[in-house]
Amino acid sequence: MSKAEKTKQFIIEKTASLFNTKGYMATSLSDITEITGLTKGSIYGNFGNKDEVALEVYQYNSGLLSKNMARSLGEEFATTIDKLNAFVSFYRKNWKAVFENGGCPLMNAATEADDTFPSLKKQVTLSFEGWIKKIASVIAEGQENGEIHQTVDAFGYGSLFIMLIEGGILLSKTTEDENYLHLALDRISLMIDKELKILPS
């Protein structure tokens, strides 16, 4: 990378947790200069404005989450049921790290970006749609290879999984009680075993 590209990446990585914890709207240029140790001129030399920093940081934060979750749905698992269970396990194992970094970057950005930051809202929408499609494609794969019931609505279950997880994270983070997230994950595990999975006859 060039020096300018390295500086830009430094700003994004250094402020990633700040934006996710404090908020994309509430984080100020002064906050950015303080945490990076750079001048306002240096920030504006790499980004057009604070909103541009926020969008790049969101893409970085959501990208990290996306990579981690993609591993849980990866090819190393023998069956699609294993992939879905690994997806649930990802949240069971990593909830503490997610909370310490301010919560789910998709949900945090979504609650802020509704009307006040339309370009961020668009990015969040694409992120959620992408994850629903990814889970739905795994379910559809299971239907093709005879692991999952043909009558199952793959997109509907993909949407439901995301809704339950995001709701569980929201309640757990708000109340500082991780049991809400575990309750949501337990429900997803039950759906995988009792509603999706074809049991051996």
Q: Which pLDDT score, from 0 to 100, does residue 74 have? A: 67
Cα distances (angstroms) measured from residue 49 to each of 32, 55, 176, 200: 12, 10, 34, 58
Go through the domains of the chain in sequence order and give each one's CATH number: 3-196 (1.10.357.10)
Degrees, nearest 5: CA angle 29-97-128: 75
Q: Which of 17-21, 24-28, 156-160, 167-171 has the highest mean pLDDT?
A: 156-160
* 3-class DSSP state of 197: strand
The pLDDT of 65-73, averaged and rounded, is: 77
Q: What are the backbone angles phi and psi of residue 154, rounded to the nearest 5°?
A: -60, -45
pTM for this structure?
0.85
Distance CA 148, CA 195 (A): 9
Which residue shows structure tokens 């294993």? 82
The token pair at 124 is 């969040």
pLDDT, residue 201, reads 67
C-alpha distances in angstroms, 64 versus 34, 109, 153, 187, 196?
Answer: 24, 15, 28, 26, 29
pLDDT of residue 3: 84
How is residue 34 written in tokens?
């303080």
What is the mean predicted confidence (pLDDT) over 113-118?
78
Cα dist. 39→29, 33, 43, 46, 98 in Å? 10, 6, 6, 11, 30
What is the predicted pLDDT for the residue at 72?
72
Query: In this predicted structure, what is the pLDDT of residue 183?
Result: 97
Determine the pLDDT at residue 75.
63
What pLDDT digit, counting tens, does each position of 120-131 carry?
989 999 999 999
Q: Please give the single-letter amino acid code of residue 116.
A: T
Most trustworthy range by pLDDT among 109-113, 168-172, 197-201: 168-172
Q: Which of 66-70, 94-98, 194-198 has the highest mean pLDDT?
A: 194-198
Residue 71 in tokens: 């591993």
